[in-house]
């Protein structure tokens, strides 16, 4: 059951592309990507886990091959769409792997439907203020003053050079980073209108930070089985953000990898092994 199938789902007249692998009766694992990538970030991880789990990895609205939303897109809207998507594809109870933007998306789902979440794996997916580095300063400026000048200042985050930098920064051996990932990201970022959607989401990221206390209350109240696998050289989400999960979930497992933001690009085998070991004990 290691074959990957490439499908689309219609969610409230919105087309979502997704990857699916594994036997339908196996434990379910929802994979949620981040910025600026898409479900292709899991292309190496999925085959390593498909014999054990039924996995689905959607392209979030505005990313990859999924439809672009209209202007003013928010993380609440993305989470609502993915919530409905899980119902469309029959994911009624599942573990969730969250990365970057996938974290505030997945954590919203967990807060709304705690009974559906069997476990959480966070790969550089933050929920604590101390996890935010100074790299967020220009984006914070846009939160605080959503002027056109502050918006335009963020366009450099959408450049091919910045995408490459995100993939290679903090990676001891950049030759281990395949060009496939960042090349596809840059291709999708060049879609007409994609830049405005991404700038809207930069501005709305403040809604995620505002929800951090809500996410933390969920962690304390429900204490889901939790694994953090973290590229320790991430320029955006600091190791302190990974350690902070243990404050609300003392039994959380935290593992650091000597790599950058896109840890799965260089350490897919290590992450797969950690997930197998972790989920074998999760209920």
Model confidence over 250-275: pLDDT tens digits?
Answer: 999 999 999 999 999 999 999 999 99
Model confidence over 118-143: pLDDT tens digits?
Answer: 999 999 999 999 999 999 999 999 99
Model confidence over 17-54: pLDDT tens digits?
Answer: 999 999 999 999 999 999 999 999 999 999 999 999 99
pLDDT of residue 31: 98
Q: What is the pTM of this model?
A: 0.97
- pLDDT classification of 281: cutoffs 50, 70, 90: confident
Model confidence over 153-212: pLDDT tens digits?
Answer: 999 999 999 999 999 999 999 999 999 999 999 999 999 999 999 999 999 999 999 999
Residue 39 near residue 81 (C-beta atoms within 8 A): no
Q: Tell the CATH topology of 4-279.
A: Rossmann fold (3.40.50)
Tokens standing for residue 157: 């985050």
Query: DSSP letters along 104-158, please?
Result: HHHHHHHHH-GGGEEEEEESS---SGGGB-GGGHHHHHHHH---HHHHHTTGGGG
Exposed, middle or buried: residue 11 (CB in 10 Å: 0-12, 13-18, 19+)? buried
Model confidence over 214-225: pLDDT tens digits?
Answer: 999 999 999 999
Quote the percentage of the chain above a pLDDT of 70.
99
Residue 154 CB neighbours (<10 A): 17
Residues in the chain, total: 283
Q: How far, in whole angstroms, is CA 73 from its chain's centroid?
A: 17
Model confidence over 54-81: pLDDT tens digits?
Answer: 999 999 999 999 999 988 899 999 999 9
DSSP 68: P
Q: Is the pLDDT of residue 283 over 60?
A: no
One of 33, 40, 54, 261 is an active-site residue; which one?
A: 261
pLDDT of residue 109: 98
Kindly tell me the sign of the dihedral angle through the C-alpha atoms of 195, 200, 142, 214. negative
Residues 6+ apart with CB under 8 A from 191: 68
Kindly tell me the sign of the dihedral angle through the C-alpha atoms of 19, 127, 173, 169. positive
Gap between the terminal Cα atoms of the chain:
22
Q: What is the dihedral of CA 122, 178, 36, 144, to 10 degrees?
A: 80
d(CA 194, CA 64): 10
| 54 assigned to active site | no
Reference 67, options 194, 159, 204, 195; nearest CA is 194
Residue 216: strand, helix, or coil = helix
Long-range CB pairs of 255-259, under 8 A, 24+ apart, other chains included: 255/227, 255/228, 255/229, 255/230, 256/230, 256/231, 256/232, 257/229, 257/230, 257/231, 257/232, 258/172, 258/232, 258/233, 259/170, 259/171, 259/172, 259/231, 259/232, 259/233
d(CA 259, CA 265): 9
């Amino acid at each position: 059951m290691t074959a990957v199938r490439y499908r689309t789902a219609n969610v409230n007249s919105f087309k979502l592309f997704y990857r699916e692998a594994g036997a339908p009766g196996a434990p379910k694992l929802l994979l949620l990507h981040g910025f600026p990538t898409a479900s292709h970030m899991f292309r190496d991880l999925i085959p390593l886990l498909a014999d054990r789990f039924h996995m689905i990895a959607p392209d979030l609205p505005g990313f990859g091959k999924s439809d672009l939303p209209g202007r003013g897109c928010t993380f609440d809207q993305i989470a609502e769409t993915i919530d409905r998507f899980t119902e469309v594809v029959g994911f009624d109870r599942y573990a969730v792997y969250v990365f970057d933007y996938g974290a505030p998306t997945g954590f919203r789902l967990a807060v709304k439907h705690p009974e559906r979440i069997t476990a959480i794996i966070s790969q550089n997916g933050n929920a604590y203020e101390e996890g935010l580095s100074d790299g967020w300063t220009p984006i914070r400026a846009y939160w605080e003053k959503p002027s056109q000048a502050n918006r335009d200042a963020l366009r450099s985050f959408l450049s091919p050079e910045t995408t490459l930098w995100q993939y290679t920064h903090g990676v001891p051996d950049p030759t281990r980073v395949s060009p496939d990932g960042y090349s596809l990201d840059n291709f999708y970022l060049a879609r007409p209108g994609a830049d405005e959607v991404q700038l809207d989401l930069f501005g709305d990221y403040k809604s995620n930070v505002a929800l951090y206390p809500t996410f933390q209350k969920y962690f304390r109240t429900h204490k889901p089985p939790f694994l953090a696998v973290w590229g320790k050289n991430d320029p955006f989400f600091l190791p302190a953000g990974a350690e902070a999960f243990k404050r609300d979930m003392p039994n959380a497992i935290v593992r650091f990898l000597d790599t950058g933001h896109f840890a799965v690009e260089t350490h897919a085998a290590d992450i797969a092994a950690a997930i197998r070991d972790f989920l074998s004990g999760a209920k």
